[in-house]
Amino acid sequence: MEFISTRGGQKVSCASEAIAKGLATDGGLFVPAYFPNVKDKLESILDMDYAETAAFVLSQYLTEYDYDDLLLACQKAYDRFDSDSAAPIVKIDDKLFIMELFHGPTLAFKDVALMLLPYLLRKGCDNCGIKEEILILVATSGDTGKAALEGFKNQPGIKVMVYYPSEGVSDMQKLLMTTQEGENLSVTAVKGNFDDCQSAVKTIFSSNEIKERLLKENVVLSSANSINFGRLAPQIAYYFSAYADLVNAEEIKFGEEVDFCVPTGNFGNILAGYYAKMMGLPIGKLVCASNKNNVLTDFFATGKYDINREFYKTTSPSMDILISSNLERLVFEMSGRNFEVTKQRMNDLSKSKEYTVSDIERVKISKQFLAGYCDEKNCVSTIKNFFDEYGYTLDPHTSVAVTVADRFMDELNNPMVILSTASPYKFPESVYKALTGKVDTDAFNASKKLEYTTAEPVPEQISELKEKTVKFTKVVEKEDICDTVFEFIQK
């Protein structure tokens, strides 16, 4: 299958090349030339386990990958999860379900893609004849960084550099990254927010001068952020898995629609659901849930994407994002795949910090999506009330989604699946305070108290952190990110 840039300047012949490059040379994002329709094959997924479902979905796009190798890679990736399924469904109430995406090695939904991406990237480079060392640059709002570090650690021929906002992640998220072992890794804190990290990384990808300098060092760039189709594609699979689980549990009849509510900042997680729907999965509405940084909510309401606003640090830091990169892919689709219009809008966003879609496009978007946001007060109260009513502990990001989903439940008649994106133990201080009203600023003490309060054991990944040594302490200005790249590869 061919892949094209959302900005029209590049077309590649296969997924391997799109995954290896990460970002198009014109700064656009790679999208498939068309959406494969699997509606007539949907019943077959009812008999598949998670790895088989993932291989089935991926094979529709990664047509040059050997299917048996792809299936084996999926099996190896998801054997690292502590659940029979990488994305188990929990029934909460009549027509309300939670899909738990935090059973991987780093306790966050990013594991679903990033435990598989090393295979996709290495195989993609091999398919393209790329022999140079691969340097992966990652901007993270908390979870992608650790998942990328864990997935790529000690992978031959690959180095990974992670950049995170110095004051924009939880203590546990920071520790998970800065104590990471692996000889091919680098972790750097940036004075700024996630958007600063992401913009700097994108600038490096778009610079021919930097890429030429790297090539002289026998290094080529790639990405593990969801701007890379190889990161996005595995996430499509868990929508199919959720649907099959509901049918097999006799919660729905085959062919009935299901709605999904997704807490999102960079828009990749919910875009994967849109791709699943375009492939023929019976999805009704996709509900976009934002925290106090509600730029997406305003966009869906008005058609204007405007980042000329205050940036808030919240208790759901992985959603503290104003520039939602993957929205570009949706805007491209809603414009009728108009390259020039998409390119102009992204230029407007870069220069004036805003762009507006047409009324026709806004109507098209509203047929697929609903959107809402949750402030800090409601996030806290939902964690408390949900635990009191159902005995289920939400992390702050999932709490945002539960709050937003509740507002739409009366007007939507389909079953609702809420995507739970992280373990509450990645944010123990916030969750413990929400449940008890008590404050403990020590993350490990808060974890122990949270375990006592909820009777849910502290995950081993968290408890063992206390004994680990912090390896990465560098903090830089956002303007100096490029310098750290060459310092790392020349070591």
**Which residues belong to the active site?**
110
d(CA 462, CA 429): 13
Q: For residues 475 and 190, is the Cβ–Cβ distance under 8 A?
A: yes
Sorted by sequence, the CB contacts under 8 Å of residue 69 that are 6+ apart come out as 123
- Quickly list DSSP for 14-30: SHHHHHHH-S-TTS--E
Q: For residues 169 and 141, is the Cβ–Cβ distance under 8 A?
A: yes
d(CA 383, CA 399): 6
Q: What are phi and psi of 276, to 5 degrees?
A: -60, -40
Please report where in the chains the tokens 């849910």 appear, as a residue: 456
Half-sphere exposure of 382 (CA within 13 A, CB side): 20
Between the alpha carbon of residue 309 and those of residues 119, 140, 447, the distances in Å are 40, 21, 34
C-alpha dihedral, 13 to 16 to 17 to 21, nearest 10° = 150
d(CA 264, CA 381): 20
Neighbour count for residue 110 (Cβ, 10 Å): 33
